[in-house]
Amino acid sequence: MAHLEFEKYLTETDIEGRLAVPSEWLKILPPFKNGSFEVQFEVTDGVGFYWQLCCSIRKKGYRKPVLQSEGWLKFVNAKGLQAGDKVVIDTEADDFRGTKIRIRAQKDLNGNGHWVDV
């Protein structure tokens, strides 16, 4: 898998419920198998912790992928995320475990456009 990276600035809806993600993110996420409309997967964050997330898509029409609330809200609360913060999802090559998915929570701590992983 080629290295891909996508980012999203968080909205109130994203931090209070589930994270609506752009459809391009489906290029990074594991495939939906056997006609399933959701997939569970493990990610690491920007500081090395593991998180269990679940992505689902609509059954008809535009797929509209979302990270479901259970795992996503644990991540949001642990990171203290607020609207305006951002998440970056990318892939990370690992010679022993294969390609891993990483989701980094970032804050602009000084308001100067210098984003740091939290």
- Report pLDDT digits (tens) over 24-56: 888 888 889 998 999 999 999 988 899 999 999
- The pLDDT score that the predictor gives to residue 89 is 92
Residue 116, φ and ψ in degrees, nearest 5: -130, 145
- The pLDDT score that the predictor gives to residue 118 is 92
Class of domain 5-117: mainly beta
Q: Any idea where the domains of the chain sit in the sequence?
A: 5-117
- The pLDDT score that the predictor gives to residue 48 is 87
DSSP 8-state secondary structure symbol assigned to residue 38:
E
Please write the tens of the pLDDT for every residue from 65-107. 999 999 999 999 999 999 999 999 998 776 776 778 999 999 9
Could you give the 3-state DSSP secondary structure of residue 106?
A: strand
Residue 5's pLDDT band (cuts 50, 70, 90)? confident
Q: Which residues contact 6 (CB under 8 A, 6 or more apart)?
A: 22, 24, 25, 28, 88, 89, 90
What stretches of 2-45 adopt beta strand conformation (E)? 5-9, 19-20, 38-44
pLDDT of residue 61 exceeding 90, the answer is: no
Residue 1's pLDDT band (cuts 50, 70, 90)? low
Residue 2's pLDDT band (cuts 50, 70, 90)? low
